Amino acid sequence: MSTDASNRRVVVKSLFGAAGMFAFAIFVLPPMYDLFCEITGLGGKTGDEYTAVDVRVDTSREVRVRFVASNNASMPWVFKPTKDSVVVHPGEPTEITYFAHNITDEDMVSQAIPSLVPNNVADYFHKTECFCFENQPLAAGEQADLKLIFIIDPDLPEGVNSVTLSYTIFDITDRMANPIAQLQ
């Protein structure tokens, strides 16, 4: 067998291997990660929209909630919480906002992904309204205050007195079928 044919086979096998790893990372790992986080409670992922029904407020206890914001490497917006932290009573609905400013000269659409620390509090942090439930379109130069309303569950373990909620914002403009329609 010639060296050229052998080299071609190695290149073809390498390309198929790389394509297989890419497909695995895109299509298999995210659902496995979600399932792992759901089963173990690890990962700090927050739940979906929560409907508060007869939640009692525990005025004997206070929990500090800190807010953090970061941009994905490809996201050029200004994105930050309007408050660094609040002190709440478990069961008490609390509203805060995050500020977003599209400083580019292009219309863009973003998506915010939340995370909580410590990781074991995700089941006790309930969002009744959150900008993270929907895409956030902003026209070039536009600014917005993005609302979050949350409740710390009164069943939060006694030893937890501080929670950090972090959002990372991503540019998803290229994934939208018609990004301009999102702005209307």
Is this structure's pTM higher than 0.85? no
Over the chain (184 residues), the average pLDDT of each successive run of 10 is 80 80 63 51 47 74 97 95 97 96 96 91 93 94 97 94 96 76 52
Looking at residue 5, what is its pLDDT? 81
The per-residue pLDDT for 29 is 56
pLDDT at 24: 64
Sheet of 136-138, strands arranged across: 85-88, 63-71, 162-171, 108-117, 136-138
Give residue 49's pLDDT: 47
- Please, what sign has the CA dihedral across residues 126, 169, 137, 145? positive
- Position 175 scores a pLDDT of 84
pLDDT for position 7: 81
